[in-house]
């Protein structure tokens, strides 16, 4: 089964577990339950992540959610908390009452998606943009699709030659108008992402060099999911490490001994216990290595076999980066990487 066939099968599995008819009667625990991998929100955000990512932002994007932590938090005019849930104060005074509204919102969007009413979805302001379009994508008529699995305006605007100031509905319509006959909606989405990623994907090399990091230290940083670097690393690399915004992508290498992962920074730089001047940044893992050994290609500033610590892959080298490093070492491509990436600071509400 091909990668795309697996994604279509996953989509089928979701609709089997969560048919549109179930949405109007789901319970709060079925919608959001900390630790559950069967809840509606877990499916939408995590299990269906590769069919259009909405990763990033807080769980408030779901309107109401089951809390993982038990820390006491004070409610205010915007955010409300109980011991078990968080929700937007504007919805109601209790999680249960807030959910009653959110449940109806979700069912409404799914209904509009089934009939292809993009204008109704566009004008509906009670759910965050990415969340509502993600729901709509999965509940559209797959035989006559009207939505591609991309829920940010910029990639669509680049593909159709529009602007990000246009509405999502307008951009979705313009994008679908360019879908070649006979090309599936997931296959077409990959083409759209490819066009975007070739123009806009920024990815860095981060090296935990063998001379600076003993084996046990490198192992511990992998376990802790920390990227570590000295603030004064030469040729401005230390400054670049500090300036790279949250959400930046990188591949990690241990010199040219191994390439463990492709990650995405989810925190700003902070002092590291390694020693004075050392900084650390937390990351999430997008792809793990599928190949042992070092890189055998030519030497460039961004390659593992070059003596650099933090270097961006230039836009003109992205095709070479994809073919010689990304595909063989991580089993992925630029389009999938762009789809997996998100902005951790994005707040959709």
Cβ neighbours for 222, distance < 8 A, ≥ 6 positions apart: 260, 261
Nearest Cα to Cα of residue 337 among 269, 266, 248? 248
Cβ atoms 311, 170 nearer than 8 A: no
Distance, in Å, from the CA atom of 255 to the CA atom of 312, rounded to the nearest integer, reads 16
- Last residue within a domain, chosen from 156, 175, 196: 196
Distance, in Å, from the CA atom of 349 to the CA atom of 347, rounded to the nearest integer, reads 6
Per the domain annotation, does 174 fall within a domain? yes
| pLDDT for the residue numbered 318 | 82
Distance, in Å, from the CA atom of 90 to the CA atom of 88, rounded to the nearest integer, reads 5
Same domain, yes or no, for 214 and 335? Answer: yes
Domain limits for position 105: 3-67+95-142
Copy the structure tokens of residue 25: 């009667």
Per the domain annotation, does 309 fall within a domain? yes
How many structural domains comprise the chain? 3
- Last residue within a domain, chosen from 127, 142, 157: 142
Planar angle of CA 13, 106, 167, nearest 5 degrees: 105
Return per-residue pLDDT of the chain as tens, 349 residues. 788 999 999 999 999 999 999 999 999 999 999 999 999 999 999 999 889 888 767 899 999 999 998 788 999 999 999 999 999 999 999 999 999 999 999 999 999 999 999 999 999 999 999 999 999 999 999 999 999 999 988 789 888 988 878 999 999 999 999 999 999 999 999 899 888 777 667 899 999 999 999 999 999 999 999 999 999 999 999 999 999 999 999 999 999 999 999 999 999 999 999 999 999 999 999 999 999 999 998 899 999 999 999 999 987 788 789 889 999 999 988 767 876 775 443 433 3
Same domain, yes or no, for 309 and 332? Answer: yes
Q: What 3-state class would DSSP assign to 74? A: coil
Q: What angle, 0 to 180 degrees and rounded to 10, lies between the N-to-C axes of helices 129-139 and 95-115?
A: 50
Cβ neighbours for 237, distance < 8 A, ≥ 6 positions apart: 229, 308, 309, 310, 311
- Last residue within a domain, chosen from 166, 196, 226: 196
Per the domain annotation, does 183 fall within a domain? yes
Per the domain annotation, does 89 fall within a domain? no
Going by the DSSP 8-state scheme, the letter that residue 317 receives in this structure is: G
Same domain, yes or no, for 124 and 173? Answer: no
Q: How far is CA 70 from the centre of its chain?
A: 26
CATH number assigned to the domain comprising residue 205: 3.10.590.10
Same domain, yes or no, for 205 and 333? Answer: yes
Q: What 3-state class would DSSP assign to 348? A: coil
Per the domain annotation, does 210 fall within a domain? yes
């Amino acid at each position: 089964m091909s990668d795309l066939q697996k994604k279509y099968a996953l989509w089928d599995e979701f609709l089997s577990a969560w048919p549109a008819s179930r949405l109007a009667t789901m319970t709060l625990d079925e919608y959001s339950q900390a630790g559950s991998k069967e809840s509606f929100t877990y499916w939408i955000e995590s299990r269906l992540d590769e069919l259009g990512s909405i990763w990033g932002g807080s769980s408030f994007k779901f309107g109401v959610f089951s809390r993982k932590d038990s820390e006491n938090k004070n409610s205010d005019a915007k955010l409300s908390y109980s011991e078990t849930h968080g929700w937007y104060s504007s919805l109601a005074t209790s999680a249960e009452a807030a959910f009653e509204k959110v449940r109806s919102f979700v069912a409404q969007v799914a209904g509009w998606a089934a009939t292809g009413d993009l204008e109704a979805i566009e004008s509906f302001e009670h759910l965050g943009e990415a969340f509502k379009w993600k729901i709509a994508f999965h509940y559209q008529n797959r035989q006559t699709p009207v939505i591609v699995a991309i829920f940010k305006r910029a990639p669509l605007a680049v593909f159709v030659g529009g602007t990000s100031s246009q509405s999502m509905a307008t951009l979705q319509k313009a994008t679908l108008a360019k879908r070649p006959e006979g090309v599936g909606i997931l296959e077409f989405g990959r083409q759209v992402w490819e066009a975007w990623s070739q123009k806009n994907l920024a990815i860095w090399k981060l090296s935990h060099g063998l001379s600076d990091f003993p084996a046990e230290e490198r192992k511990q940083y992998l376990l802790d999911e920390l990227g570590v670097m000295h603030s004064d690393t030469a040729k401005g690399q230390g400054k670049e490490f500090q300036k790279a915004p949250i959400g930046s992508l990188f591949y990690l290498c241990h010199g040219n001994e191994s390439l463990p992962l492709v990650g995405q920074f989810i925190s700003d730089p902070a002092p590291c216990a390694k020693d004075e001047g050392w900084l650390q940044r937390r990351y999430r893992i997008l792809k793990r290595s599928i190949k042992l050994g070092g890189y055998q290609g030519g030497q460039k500033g961004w390659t593992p076999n070059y003596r650099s610590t933090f270097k961006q892959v230039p836009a003109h080298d992205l095709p070479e980066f994809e073919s010689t490093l990304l595909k063989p070492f991580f089993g992925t491509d630029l389009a999938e990487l762009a789809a997996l990436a998100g902005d951790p600071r994005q707040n959709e509400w």
